[in-house]
Structure 1
Amino acid sequence: MEGYFSGMGKFEITTRKNGEFQFNLKAGNGQVILTSEGYATKAACLNGVESVKKNAADDGRFERKTSANGKAFFNLKAANGQIIGSSEMYETEASRDNGIASVMKNAPEATVEDNA
């Protein structure tokens, strides 16, 4: 149970070198579990965060994929089918599914840390 209380998830907003805004969703242990695309404005990035919070509770919004080199990953999609976040590459489908479960658990109540 100790790990359960190690902190809640959080969204970290950062600025890319090209000036775009991006967010990472981190689990309570600090591991990045979802990364966004780049956004032209901070407002659009914050809208992306809200979209993740809203859509993460729906397992049907997660697109489970396998890359060309056999690694498992997932995309989280909005109701309109747009990708709002992607995972890292996982060695196994089971690890990928654990990543999805972590996003589902952490995203809805995650705080937002603005580092942009």
Structure 2
Amino acid sequence: MAGKFELKTAKSGQFHFNLLAGNGQIIMQSEMYESKASALNGIASIQKNAADDARYDRLVSKSEKPYFVLKAGNHQVIGQSQMYESEAGRDNGIESVKKNAPEATVDDQTA
């Protein structure tokens, strides 16, 4: 099964999305967007930038958990991963984004 983006509406009325792997596990989540169009632009930006390894920042949280963010060409963060138990897990997450994001469909759950 291929990956997909789930586009949702938050209780605040803002829009956000998750990138899911083929097994349904969340690989990456977005920030909140004021409009649905902006969220869809965020999805398009992830699809465009996912394959470029230089767009990923490999980071470590204050609790020393590895995670990553994906940045657009303007250096804005367009997606963030979960916290991982190991750097290897984080790196596998990046590879999963590279594999799933470019061809992922959008499951619009905002209606």
TM-score computed with the length of structure 2 as normaliser: 0.98
How far apart are residue 28 of structure 1 and its match? 0.2
Say whether 1:57 aligns with 2:57: no
Partner of 1:3: none
TM-score computed with the length of structure 1 as normaliser: 0.94
Give CA-to-partner distance per residue, 1:6-44, whole Å, 9 cap, x none: x00000000111111001000000000010000000000
Partner of 1:109: 103
Matching residue's letter, 1:51: S
Paired residues for 1:16-35 under 5 Å:
16-35=10-29
* Aligned-pair identity (%): 60
> Match for 1:78 among 72, 75, 79?
72
How far apart are residue 61 of structure 1 and its match? 0.3
The runs of at least 4 aligned residues of structure 1 exceeding 2 Å deviation read none
Provide the alpha-carbon RMSD of the alignment.
0.4
Say whether 1:96 aligns with 2:90: yes
**Aligned pairs, how many?**
110
Give CA-to-partner distance per residue, 1:62-87, whole Å, 9 cap, x none: 00000011100000000000000000
> Match for 1:45 among 36, 39, 42?
39
**Structure 2: distance between partners of 1:99 and 1:59:** 12
Point out where structure 2 has 5 or more consecutive residues left out of the alignment: none
Give CA-to-partner distance per residue, 1:58-116, whole Å, 9 cap, x none: 01000000001110000000000000000000010000000000000000000000001
SS, match of residue 64 in structure 1: strand
